[in-house]
Structure 1
Amino acid sequence: MEILTKIKNFKKVSWGLVILCALSVIILVVLINHTEDNAEDSNAVTLDTLLSESSISDAEQEVEGTNERIGEERDLNVVVDVKGAVNNPGVFSLDANQRVIDAIDAADGLAEKADTKYINFAQLLEDEMYIYIPVEGEEIIGIEKSLEGAHAKDAKININDANEQILTQLNGIGPSKANDIIEYREKNGPFESIDEITKVSGIGEKTYEKISEYIEAK
């Protein structure tokens, strides 16, 4: 009887150990699966983040590249206004390395009786440049006086009586700045020296350096 009792007790203990081991295995499997799920989720988030960051970086590079191309295109092109004795006056977009003669060609060439003795066909174009071609016999105040007794290549524009059309022949001087020059001298009197033109709004040292050798104050 004692032996049977021991056998029964042993079976109970054995079944208890089996159940305990089984529970341990189940818990271990659950923990492993949970860890793998978390790892997969983490990897998925990391991959999504990397893809998102890569897309943003690619988009930023594309925008930068586009801006650079636009900047280069702007640097390579200028817009000029051609008026006067040409066949097709208007505003034209041309390459920055082209010259006044090319702008006149864009306006379908010179009209009949165009007076070109004051025009520098070889001058490089600048953005917002204003090109005016007078007709023969047309009085151009400012430049004709400066040409008296001098060769055309040595002519200078008198900033004290030149009109808008003449002033805009200067590099960097468009219609707006030309009008500012005229308004300044009407308000303050004639320019006493050419460097006084830097007191005009919008005309700084860089512009003055471009035009100083082509102007005079008489």
Structure 2
Amino acid sequence: MKIILENWRRLALLFLILLLLFLIGNWSQKKAETSWNVNAGEADNSPLSDTEENDKVEGEKASEGLTLQSGVGEEEMAVVDIKGAVHNPGVFTVPSDSRLHEVIEKAGGFTAEADTVQVNLALKVWDQMLMYVPKKGESADIISSTAAPGTSDVKKININSASQSELTELTGIGEKKAQAIIEFREKNGAFKTIEDLLLVPGIGEGILSNIREDISL
């Protein structure tokens, strides 16, 4: 009798344990389903789905790419007026880092009458630059209505065409030296370089260094 009673107790305890495990498992499953439904609802109610969010990100990246590309290739330009002994005088727009020979090419190149010795083809151009290409026998410098950056608007004295009174405006050049300059160029032709002034009697390195920035060819 005691053995039978003990077996019933064990069966009852085992039944209670199994019932408890079943209840706990059922409760856990319901909690998990409730949590999943809540998360799913939040995802559905969000402003953008995963696909829409990805599309938005890709669109923003594409927009940024277009913005960056729009800035690429922008180049500062200079408007240059060229006159004189070129085939097609006129106004030309070129990149601001261009040299004079590039503008002359745009103007059709030199004519047969052009005095190319007086033209510095390596000169860097600037915006609103006015250039005159002289013909042979003319004494003309490149003229600029707006001075190049970093330079002054003070007109330089052309030693190939200046009068005696104009030459005397230079530091250290009196009437005798001015006359000597005129006689030298009449006898030997136009000065080809600034340094040719040293060939004129009475003009040395000291005087030349004082007037170098105030003269032109």
Higher helix share: 1
Superposition TM-score, scaled by structure 2 size: 0.43
Q: Which has the larger radius of gyration?
A: 2
TM-score by length of 1: 0.43
